[in-house]
Amino acid sequence: MDFSKVIEQRFSVRSYKPDEIEKEKLEQVLEAARLAPTAVNKQPFQFIVIRSKNRQQDLEKIYGKAWFYQAPVVIAACALYDKAWKRRDGMNYAVVDTTIAMDHLILAATNLGLGTCWIGAFDPEAVAKILNLPDHAQVIAFTPLGYPADSAKPKKRAPLSQLVRYEGWE
């Protein structure tokens, strides 16, 4: 798909077909995350692939919407704070790097006709227990992954004139 079409066609899919995802397609979206840029090439993340079959109870505790656990696969993007680059003022880039990688994954999924939806409003305590996360790992976002049973709605976005300044703030 043309790159600009990928950007336009990605939308938050909140209804999924039960069809399984082909192994090659799953590998392709994970590969897109692997190739994402990271600060000082630290790659401070792990992706956890959760097959939703027999995991409904767990997934429901994480995020209670049926469309979330009805997708065949759910992916968690985990930031590793101990592995990330730190800027001189102490800012830890784990979240930035993990978010960029997740966006690569999401755009690659769109390109393959797969649906995704960023999920930030999950229960972090349930996640830590269910996924057995170590202390240095934190899930930044989930996405369901599957064939969409939904179609895009027109995007509501502020115009560029409200989002962009040139050369400085004023």
Ligand X SMILES: Cc1cc2nc3c(=O)[nH]c(=O)nc-3n(C[C@H](O)[C@H](O)[C@H](O)COP(=O)(O)O)c2cc1C
Site residues (CB under 6 A) for ligand X?
A: 11-12, 117-121, 141, 155
Minimum CB distance to ligand X, residue 117 (Å): 5
41 Ramachandran zone, left/alpha/beta (phi>0; psi -120 to 50): left
Q: What residues does 76 pair with on adjacent strands? A: 48, 142
Which residue's CB comes closest to ligand X? Answer: 120
Task: Select 67 or 81, whichever has its Cβ closest to ligand X.
Answer: 67
Minimum CB distance to ligand X, residue 121 (Å): 3
Q: How far is residue 109's CA from residue 117's CA, in Å, rounded to a whole number?
A: 11
Task: Select 21 or 142, whichever has its Cβ closest to ligand X.
Answer: 142
**Residue 62, phi then psi, degrees to nearest 5:** -75, -45
Task: Select 31 or 123, whichever has its Cβ closest to ligand X.
Answer: 123
Minimum CB distance to ligand X, residue 168 (Å): 27
- Report CA torsion sign: 116, 149, 25, 6: negative
* Structure token pair of residue 81: 């704070």
Q: Whose structure tokens read 């079959």?
A: 53
Minimum CB distance to ligand X, residue 167 (Å): 28
